[in-house]
A = this chain, B = another copy of it.
Amino acid sequence: MSGMGDMTIKDIARLCGVGVSTVSRAMNNHPDISQETKDKIMRVIEEHNYIPNNSARNLKRTESNTIALLMKGIDNPFFQGMFHIFEEMLNKSNFNFILQKVNFDEDEISVAIELQKEKKLKGIIFLGGMIREDVKVFELLNVPYVLCTVGQFGSGTAGQMNFVAIDDVKESFKLVDYLCSLGHQKIALITSSKQERGVGSLRYEGYRQALLKNGIPFDESLVYYMKSGIAGFSPENGYAVTKELLESGREFTAVFAVSDMLAFGVSKALLESGRRIPGDCSVAGFDGLELTQFYHPSITTIHQPREEMAKAAVQMLLELIGGNECKRAQIFEATLQIQESTGAAPVT
């Protein structure tokens, strides 16, 4: 509890018999210092475990080479594989990379401004979360930024922002259209509650459009919403909802859950009830998590090119930082990943 972590640059200077600026020069690899004094100083620093105070540094510094990743939903498994991409790319470009989590009840813009002032950021990547009603507030940021898989675009605001995303409506359509092509007519949907504007409602829309295109009447009684007492987009939730679906006695030959995690729970509930997948009922998820391949049966899903999206986000940000205007919006094509969980609708 004591320690001597309260050393300052002055202490080091005194210990070395030099001025503080010389110590600073040594630490920051300035050229105008003799190798001899530098060595001596570094040795003393080492011996005394001196670590400079970042608050003071950041305060004084006029700029840094730090890029921040602001992440809403730190425990979203969809984001897992993206970390190391951000990290590797930014390190390769000689940027520091800091991760800042944003709570769901927090305003990411405020967090961004605060952090940008504190760390003199060079750029910001927003990951997850939702776009705000008023796009204007983004103008308060005075560093380049990119939105990566941030929800709810399209309502005219899209053109004004730099972002990387997929077209949720279209991809959802693609998946449901595929289910229809297998002969499914009664496709249950599990999505987020109606009020929430987010991927849930977009994928819902794709579902509706696919039914329409295939001439299948929309049946609201086949639309199920995640339960609010349970974590959203979780296998627990998918399981609970599917139990309810099964108990309702409604007929269905396929279930589309708007996330892979949900789909795991859906599958378990179906298999437990004695149904075979896809023999009796097909199941499909959304996101393309690696884990879908290891479920048994492996689960058909829409695979978002996460790595490429992460790369594109970094790339876009670096170009913006470099002063190059670049494509402002980048919509990625996701791929229908057909696996074992979907098959022809059972004949009745």
Please give the residue numbers on chain A whose beta carbons come within 8 Å of chain B beta carbons, in ascending order: 1-6, 49, 51-56, 58-59, 74-75, 77, 80-81, 83-84, 87, 99, 101, 103, 110, 113-114, 116-119, 139-144, 234-236, 239, 264-265, 267-268, 271-272, 290-291, 293-296, 298
B residues near A103, Cβ cutoff 8 Å: 87
A141 near B265: Cβ-Cβ < 8 Å: no
Measured CA separation A140–B49 after assembly (Å): 8
Measured CA separation A2–B142 after assembly (Å): 5
Measured CA separation A51–B140 after assembly (Å): 11
**A320 closest partner in B (C-beta):** B1
Name the one of B58, B77, B87 contacting A77, with C-beta atoms under 8 angstroms.
B77
Measured CA separation A144–B4 after assembly (Å): 14
Measured CA separation A1–B325 after assembly (Å): 12
B residues near A56, Cβ cutoff 8 Å: 55, 59
What's the minimum C-beta distance from A71 to chain B, rounded to whole angstroms? 10
B53 near A235: Cβ-Cβ < 8 Å: no
Given A235-B294, A295-B295, 19 further pairs, Cβ under 8 A: A1-B144, A2-B142, A3-B140, A5-B113, A5-B116, A51-B110, A51-B114, A53-B118, A55-B59, A59-B59, A77-B77, A77-B80, A234-B290, A264-B291, A265-B294, A267-B296, A268-B295, A268-B296, A295-B296
Measured CA separation A140–B139 after assembly (Å): 43
**A77 closest partner in B (C-beta):** B77
Q: Given the known A-B contacts A239-B294, A264-B294, A265-B294, are A53 and B142 also in contact in the complex, defined by CB atoms under 8 Å?
A: no
B residues near A2, Cβ cutoff 8 Å: 139, 142
B residues near A140, Cβ cutoff 8 Å: 3-5, 49
B117 near A5: Cβ-Cβ < 8 Å: yes
The DSSP consensus for interface residues of chain A is helix
B139 near A3: Cβ-Cβ < 8 Å: yes
B residues near A235, Cβ cutoff 8 Å: 290-291, 293-294
Measured CA separation A250–B60 after assembly (Å): 65
Measured CA separation A4–B295 after assembly (Å): 51
**A69 closest partner in B (C-beta):** B101
Q: Given the known A-B contacts A235-B290, A268-B295, A294-B235, are A142 and B5 also in contact in the complex, defined by CB atoms under 8 Å?
A: yes
B residues near A296, Cβ cutoff 8 Å: 267-268, 271-272, 295-296
What's the minimum C-beta distance from A232 to chain B, rounded to whole angstroms? 13
B residues near A142, Cβ cutoff 8 Å: 1-6
Q: Can you sample 18 A-B contacts with CB below 8 Å?
A: A1-B144, A2-B139, A5-B141, A5-B142, A6-B142, A51-B117, A54-B117, A54-B118, A55-B56, A55-B59, A59-B59, A74-B99, A75-B84, A99-B101, A236-B290, A268-B296, A272-B296, A295-B296
Measured CA separation A74–B87 after assembly (Å): 12
**A239 closest partner in B (C-beta):** B294
Measured CA separation A99–B6 after assembly (Å): 23
A268 near B294: Cβ-Cβ < 8 Å: yes
**A6 closest partner in B (C-beta):** B142
Measured CA separation A293–B261 after assembly (Å): 13
**A261 closest partner in B (C-beta):** B291
B residues near A3, Cβ cutoff 8 Å: 139-142
